[in-house]
Every structure is written in C-alpha cells, then in structure tokens.
C-alpha cells in the first residue's frame, strides 16, 4: 500500500442522512463535489465511514487529482513497485491507532518525520480529520531536538482545527509518532503549545516489534493494516481505471502451493492404491493356484490349454497376473469343469454275498447248537441262492438307495421249520 503526498490529496468531512453502504456509494460523488476544489470527473474518490447514527452517517472523504495520482503511481512503477492499494498517510495512522494505546477515545496523532509532519484526528481506527505539511527544517529539528517556531505554530493551528471536528467538547489527548517522537526534547517543546494531555506509547496487540520501530514505522504498518480488512477497502483510491492490474498476483503463490500439494497428495494416493491392488492381485493369484492344486490340475498344462484356447502365440510370462487375467482363467476353468461328466462314488451299503451266507450259517433257525456239547445240527438245508442288485444310484439321481433281491431255495425235515425260517427272515433284525 502506498501513501500519496499531502500536495496530491485532501481530506474533507461529510454528513449524509443515509445509513446503508450501498446508498452512500450511490450519492458519494454527487455529495462530495462541492467539497472538492477541482472537477469531480478529475478526482479519485475514497471514503471512510466514521460513525453511523440515527440522524445519518459521518464520513471522511479522501480525494486526489487523477493527474497527481497517475504521477504518484508512475513514480512507484519507476522504483519497481506496483502498489495494490493507494491512500493517504492519515488512513495508516488511524488503522494503527488501536494498537498504540488501550483507550478508545478520540485522540490526535502527530507524526513527525524528516520530510513531513502530519496531524490526524482519529476515532478508534477511523480517520476524522488530517492535515499535513512538508518542510526542509524538520530533519534538522529532529536531529538537534529544537522545534522551530514555524513548526510550533503549524501544530497549534492543526490541533485547533482538529478540535473543531471532534465529537466532544473535552480536551483531546495527543500521541507523538515518527522519528521525531524518539527525540524527547523536541516532543517536550511541541507539547508546551498544546493544552491537552500527552499520551505514551503502549504498543498493545503488537508482538515482536520494538517500541522504536512502532514509532518510526507507524504509517507503513498502519497502511498495511488498513487494507488487510475488507471493510476498509473503500479508503483505497485505486478504483475504476486506476484498479490494480493484477488482482490475482498475491494468490498465485498460495494457489500454486495448494495445487502442488493436491497433486502430491493425489500421487501418494495413486502409489498407495497401486501397492494395495498389487498385494490383492498377488493374494488372488495364490488362491487361484491353490484351487488348481485342489482340483489336481497341473498348472503348466492348464496355462498351455488356456493360451491355446484364446489364440495366444507368445510364451507365458512368469510374472504376477493381473486381476483381469485371473478372471479370464477362472472363467476358462469354469467352462472346462462344466464340460466334464459328472461322477459320484459308488459306496454300496448293502451286504455282500459272503456276508449273507455267513449270517445264514449262524442263524438259529438254520443251525441249532447244543448248549451242553456245542454240537451243531442243520435245521434247514440251503439248496439254491440267487443274489441280484435291482436298483442303484444313477446320474441325476444320486440320492437313490441300493436295493438287492435275494432268492433262496431250502429243504427242511418239516413244514414247521420252513415256516419258522420264513417268519424269521421277515422279522426286523440288526443285519
């Protein structure tokens, strides 16, 4: 932010019976025209709202001739500087005022430098009145600590004019800033011509900056603070045709940094995702090879059949398979399994012929055993046996049971023995 010299700018108070910002902007140039000693078309206008009350708004008008303003910008460009904002020094003093002293009352800030002296009436961080003078004697007065009479008269007149714009009738306190504030003798001489109390610097809210730096660089610090908040943008005279030509220049570095970080983060996600996919594909390939082993299929034979079926002429690679390649092989394996005839194990649960003969040979209705001597005597004589399997599970009917038909021809000494043997065969038994 640059500061226009006193001979290129002016400050005027203005009262409007309006309270809305958009209404104030709409009538600002019309209402400010009688206060400016040159045509409004040749002026760069800014404003600062000091106070809004029931009766309207109290404003401070900032104005500069366009040719003077263009000369100021050209001087900055020749020095290699393209200021984003341009205003007057009094705006910088008002912006830094809340950081200089804890009180919020109206006060006068006197800025003494080697080339100019500024007297500003401020209310909190708002500029109410400002007057500036330039003199070649200021540098000598600051070095020697001797205030010339011309400076004392100017300061007395400036403070008197500022008092007329104050909202109250009490005496205004004064705070000295700039290089001249470091010279105690000079400040004491100038204070004798002022009726109000003199304040001391507190530098509240400014950390890491010494008191001498705050005094010397009060205007540069204040100018930076004045444009840091959006509500103070109205004090910027670089508007319209004088607008800053590269409004996005300040955001280029943050945007470039943000874009670079986003790209780096995306690259990290891409690499991590690639590693996770690779691990998943390796595990999937292991499961597929395990399936081949469970089905007792040779891996090399299966790979050869797969490549032949798909018309691949290049030899198989020993590297890991992609998920798409594994999916193709699983589909091919499924087709091969569907072409195989379905088989099922023949696990017969019916007794064999030898089992039937052994059971009959020990049946009590076929052979009687003397309990005393243990002598065995045949009751029934088996003359013929026909063992036939009449039903077994078939393809598509694997749940069917085995069924066996046994035809026996026997000879007995009596019909009673034959009937008993027949009835014994019909009775349920463990066999």
User: Is a pLDDT exceeding 60 seen at residue 230?
Assistant: no
CA 289 to CA 306: how far, in whole Å? 14
The candidate with the shortest Cα–Cα distance to 425, out of 356, 328, 351, is 356
For residues 197 and 302, state if they share a domain: no
| DSSP per position, 361-405 | HT-TTTEEE-TTT--EEESEEEEEEEEEEEE--BTTBTTPPPEEE
Query: Angle CA(149)–CA(151)–CA(155) in degrees, nearest 5?
Result: 120
Burial (CB count within 10 angstroms: exposed 0-12, middle 13-18, buried 19+), residue 297: middle
pLDDT digits over 52-88, tens only?
Answer: 888 889 999 999 999 999 999 999 999 998 888 888 8
Whether the predicted pLDDT of 208 surpasses 90: no
- Residue 240 and residue 257 share a domain: no
Rounded Cα distance between 242 and 72, Å, is: 11
CA–CA separation, 171 and 173 (whole Å): 7
Please tell me the distance from the alpha carbon of residue 297 to that of residue 190, in angstroms, as a whole number: 107
Q: Is 121:100 a contact under the CB 8 Å cutoff? A: no
Question: DSSP string spanning 129-146?
Answer: EEEEEE-THHHHHHHHT-
Residue 360's pLDDT band, with cuts at 50, 70 and 90, is: confident
Can you give the residue range of the structural domain that contains 362?
Answer: 353-426
Summarize pLDDT for 133-173 with one digit per residue, the tens. 888 788 888 888 888 898 999 999 999 998 888 887 778 89
- Note the pLDDT tens digit of each residue in 405-424: 989 898 888 888 888 888 88
pLDDT, one tens digit per residue, over 367-381 is 888 888 878 888 888
Does residue 256 sit in the same domain as residue 289? yes
Residue 272 has pLDDT above 90, yes or no: yes
Tell me if the pTM is above 0.85: no
Q: Is residue 373 part of a domain?
A: yes
Which is nearest to 410 in space by CA: 372, 377, 366? 366
- As a whole number of angstroms, the distance between CA 413 and CA 235 comes to 139
Q: Is residue 110 part of a domain?
A: yes
Does residue 308 belong to any structural domain of this protein?
A: yes
Q: Is there a domain that residue 344 lies in?
A: no
Handedness of CA 263, 266, 272, 274 (dihedral sign): negative
Count how many domains the chain has: 3
pLDDT value of position 259: 95
pLDDT confidence of 121, banded at 50, 70, 90?
very high
> Are residues 35 and 134 part of one domain?
yes
Residue where the block lists tokens 């091969």:
336
Token pair for residue 249? Answer: 């220049």
C-alpha 132/C-alpha 121 separation (Å) is 12
Has residue 285 been placed in a domain? yes
Percent of the chain at pLDDT exceeding 90: 17
Q: Are residues 419 and 332 in the same domain?
A: no
174/118 Cα distance (integer angstroms): 12
Say how far apart CA 146 and CA 277 lie, in whole Å.
82
Looking at the fold, whether 228 and 131 belong to one and the same domain comes out as: yes
Is 223 in the same domain as 265? no
Pick from 339, 364, 383: which residue ends a domain?
Answer: 339
Higher pLDDT: 402 or 263? It is: 263
Domain boundary among 339, 362, 381: 339
Cα separation, 73 vs 2, whole angstroms: 9
User: Does a structural domain hold residue 384?
Assistant: yes
Q: Choose the final residue of a domain: 295, 314, 339.
A: 339
| pLDDT confidence band for 212 (50 / 70 / 90) | confident
Q: Are residues 203 and 293 in the same domain?
A: no
* 346 vs 66: which has the higher pLDDT: 66
CB-side neighbour CA atoms (13 Å) of 86: 29
Residue among 228, 238, 235 nearest 59 (CA)? 235
SS3 assignment, position 359:
helix
Residue 338's pLDDT band, with cuts at 50, 70 and 90, is confident
Same domain? For 134 and 192 the reply is yes
**Are 256 and 115 in a shared domain?**
no
Residue 305: the pLDDT is 85
Share of the chain above pLDDT 70, in %: 95
Which has the closest alpha carbon to 187: 136, 112, 121, 129?
Answer: 112
pLDDT number for residue 157: 92
CB atoms near residue 135 (< 10 Å): 16
Is 419 domain-assigned? yes
Regarding whether 333 and 191 lie in a shared domain, the answer is no
Residue 261 lies in a domain: yes
Residue 193, helix vs strand vs coil = coil
Q: Where are the beta strands (DSSP E) in 73-125?
A: 86-88, 107-112, 116-123
Predicted local confidence at residue 343, as pLDDT: 66
H or E element in which residue 11 lies: strand 9-16
Residues 222 and 164 in one domain: yes
pLDDT at 309 over 90: no
Distances (CA, A) of 409 to 92, 377, 384, 424: 131, 19, 5, 15
Residue 335 in tokens = 């087709």
CA angle 102, 105, 109 (to 5 degrees): 80
What's the half-sphere exposure (Cβ side, CA atoms, 13 Å) at 417? 16
As a whole number, mean pLDDT of residues 195-221 equals 84
What SS3 state is found at 356?
helix
């Amino acid at each position: 932010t640059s500061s226009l010299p006193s001979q290129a700018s002016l400050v005027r108070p203005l009262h409007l019976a309006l309270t809305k910002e958009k209404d104030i902007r709409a009538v600002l140039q019309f209402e400010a025209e009688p206060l400016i000693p040159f045509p409004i078309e040749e002026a760069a206008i800014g404003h600062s709202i000091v106070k809004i009350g029931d009766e309207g708004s109290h404003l401070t008008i900032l104005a500069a001739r366009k040719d003077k303003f263009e000369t100021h910008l050209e001087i900055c460009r020749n020095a290699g500087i393209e200021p984003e904002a341009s205003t007057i020094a009094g705006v910088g003093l008002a912006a830094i005022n809340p950081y200089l002293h804890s009180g919020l009352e109206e006060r006068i800030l006197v800025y003494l430098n080697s080339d100019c002296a500024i007297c500003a009436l401020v209310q909190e961080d708002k500029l109410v009145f400002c007057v500036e003078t330039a003199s070649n004697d200021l540098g000598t007065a600051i070095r020697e600590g001797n205030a010339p009479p011309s400076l004392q008269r100017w300061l007395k007149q400036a403070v008197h004019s500022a008092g007329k714009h104050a909202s109250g009738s009490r005496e205004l306190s004064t705070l000295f800033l700039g290089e001249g504030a470091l010279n105690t003798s000079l400040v004491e001489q100038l204070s004798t011509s002022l009726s109000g109390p003199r304040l001391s610097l507190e530098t509240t809210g400014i950390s890491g900056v010494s008191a001498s730096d705050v005094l010397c660089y009060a205007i540069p610090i204040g100018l930076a603070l004045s444009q840091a908040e959006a509500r103070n943008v109205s004090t910027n005279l670089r508007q319209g045709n004088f607008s800053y030509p590269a409004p996005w220049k300040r955001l280029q570095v943050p945007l470039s940094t943000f874009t670079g970080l986003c790209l780096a983060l995306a690259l990290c996600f891409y690499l991590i995702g690639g590693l996770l996919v690779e691990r998943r594909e390796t595990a999937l390939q292991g499961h597929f090879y395990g399936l081949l082993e469970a089905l007792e299929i040779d891996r090399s034979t299966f790979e050869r059949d797969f490549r032949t079926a798909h018309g691949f002429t290049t030899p198989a690679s020993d590297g890991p398979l992609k998920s798409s390649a594994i999916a193709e092989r699983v589909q091919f394996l499924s087709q091969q399994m569907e072409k195989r005839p379905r088989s099922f194990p023949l696990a017969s649960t019916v007794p064999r012929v030898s089992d039937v003969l052994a059971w009959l040979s020990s049946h009590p209705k076929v052979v009687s055993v003397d309990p005393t001597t243990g002598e065995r005597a045949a009751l029934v004589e088996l003359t013929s046996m026909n063992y036939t399997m009449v039903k077994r599970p078939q393809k598509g009917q694997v749940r069917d049971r085995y069924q066996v038909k046994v035809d026996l021809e026997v000879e007995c000494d009596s019909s009673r023995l034959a009937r008993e043997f027949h009835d014994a065969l019909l009775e349920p038994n463990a066999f």
